[in-house]
A = this chain, B = another copy of it.
Amino acid sequence: MTTPSLGVAVIGHAFMGKAHSHAWRNVGAFFPEAPRVRQQVLVGRDPARVTAAARDYGWTDVATEWTTVLDRDDVDIVDVCVPGHLHAEIALAALAAGKHVLVEKPLANTVKEAEQLAAAAAEAHRHGVVSMVGFNYRRVPALALARRLVAEGRLGVVREVRAAYLQDWLADDDAPMSWRLRQDTAGSGALGDLGSHVVDLVRHLLDDEVASVSGDLHTFTRERSGPDGVERVTVDDAAWAWLGMASGARASVEVSRVATGRKNGLCLELYGTEGALTFDLERLNELHVTGRDGGFERILVTEPTHPYVGAWWPPGHTLGWDHTFTHQASELLCAIAAGEAVRPSFDDGLAVQRTLAAVEDSARDAGRRIHLDSAIGAAP
């Protein structure tokens, strides 16, 4: 390992900051071929809380201003784990400071911000700076295997995709109002939060681009109570889309936060001319695959030949959700060491954002199909 180690700063220490910290702490134990990592700085606004988090999660230093990490020579990677409306400012500054950047998904709340980020990432890449957007589900071994099987032609030509991402934390009308339910802070509701994952995965699994979009949005509970009293909910509870892919494939997408009983039900079905596969995130270690003549085979994706799995445990010893971030960290580190671009890139993040914007536009026009300019796209 002659590669020098890389210092990391994580901005944010809530849910995503905890998950990313987990990845940085563990990546070296399982992916020793990647550059070593130094957990340099954890950034958070509240000094007491960030100090406690840093101690628990293994960080050397803390900071309360994210700007301070840009000047530190011991920080090579800036990992942005704050809410979406703050992504652009931080990531643009980090790229300008020559830091490699990982941004949690979705890349930004608006197409305009996403365009700025993609342009900045392209510019920075000319100087050897690597950037990535955190669509971590590409790193689920079963989904990485799914992509491999599609690429190998095991499904033939994929015709239909049936996809959903269903949760239920808003099924209760009494669930409280929060910033996530306001359009100005959250950008959108289920569409941006869950739909962005689904759109990214459809593009990724098929190695394809979205060419046209029909969309619909709905808010079942239009008012909720919060600390400031009853307030209007300004984002969607659920969203639907039909995607026409550049290849000719058709994808149906349904995302919801009111699907009672579904905790984290990211369900994918791909139907091709020669085979099909299905996946459910609630059974993260399994992929179900069929050819044309047989039934669905339940593959327990824990064999050493499966993507990422060789780094871990013997067959049958399942992985959890959190290690998708460890895989993601490993991919970013190896790209930095190789001086190469890595996907999902900011261009991928932008393509997703444009698709989601088209869903909203279509929804405003009674579901009429909108054709996307797919200039930005599938190039590896």
A residues whose Cβ falls under 8 Å from a Cβ of B: 15, 18-19, 21-22, 25-26, 28-29, 32, 52, 55-58, 155, 159-160, 162, 164, 166-169, 171-173, 214, 216, 218, 220, 238, 240, 242, 250, 252, 254, 256, 258-265, 269, 271-276, 281-285, 290, 292, 294-300, 302, 312-323, 362, 365-369
Query: Which residues of the partner chain B approach A56 to less than 8 Å between Cβ atoms?
Result: 28-29, 32
A216 to B369 alpha-carbon distance, docked (Å): 10
Query: Which residues of the partner chain B approach A15 to less than 8 Å between Cβ atoms?
Result: 313-314
A297 to B22 alpha-carbon distance, docked (Å): 32
Query: Which residues of the partner chain B approach A294 to less than 8 Å between Cβ atoms?
Result: 297, 299
Using A162-B164, A216-B214, A252-B254 as known contacts, say yes or no to A260 and B26 having CB atoms under 8 A apart: no
A214 to B215 alpha-carbon distance, docked (Å): 10
> Are A260 and B264 interface neighbours, CB within 8 A?
no
A159 to B260 alpha-carbon distance, docked (Å): 10
Using A214-B367, A260-B290 as known contacts, say yes or no to A284 and B318 having CB atoms under 8 A apart: yes
A265 to B315 alpha-carbon distance, docked (Å): 11
Query: Which residues of the partner chain B approach A25 to less than 8 Å between Cβ atoms?
Result: 25-26, 29
Q: Give the nearest-CB partner of A156 in chain B.
A: B260
> Are A316 and B264 interface neighbours, CB within 8 A?
yes
Q: How far is the CB of A92 from chain B (nearest CB, A)?
A: 30
A-B pairs, top 9 by smallest CB distance, nearest first, are A264-B316, A263-B316, A320-B320, A261-B290, A297-B297, A319-B320, A261-B276, A295-B299, A260-B276
Query: Which residues of the partner chain B approach A52 to less than 8 Å between Cβ atoms?
Result: 32
- Beyond A167-B316, A366-B368, 15 additional contacts (C-beta under 8 Å) are A25-B25, A25-B29, A169-B314, A214-B214, A214-B367, A240-B252, A252-B254, A261-B290, A281-B316, A284-B318, A318-B321, A319-B321, A320-B320, A320-B322, A366-B369
A271 to B252 alpha-carbon distance, docked (Å): 18
**Which residue of the partner chain, among B29, B166, B295, B318, contacts A298 with CB atoms under 8 Å?**
B295
A307 to B124 alpha-carbon distance, docked (Å): 46
Query: Which residues of the partner chain B approach A369 to less than 8 Å between Cβ atoms?
Result: 366-367
Query: Which residues of the partner chain B approach A276 to less than 8 Å between Cβ atoms?
Result: 259-262
A296 to B287 alpha-carbon distance, docked (Å): 11
Query: Which residues of the partner chain B approach A284 to less than 8 Å between Cβ atoms?
Result: 318
Query: Which residues of the partner chain B approach A242 to less than 8 Å between Cβ atoms?
Result: 216, 240, 367
A21 to B61 alpha-carbon distance, docked (Å): 24
Query: Which residues of the partner chain B approach A173 to less than 8 Å between Cβ atoms?
Result: 273
**Which residue of the partner chain, among B169, B172, B292, B296, contacts A315 with CB atoms under 8 Å?**
B169
> Are A317 and B264 interface neighbours, CB within 8 A?
yes
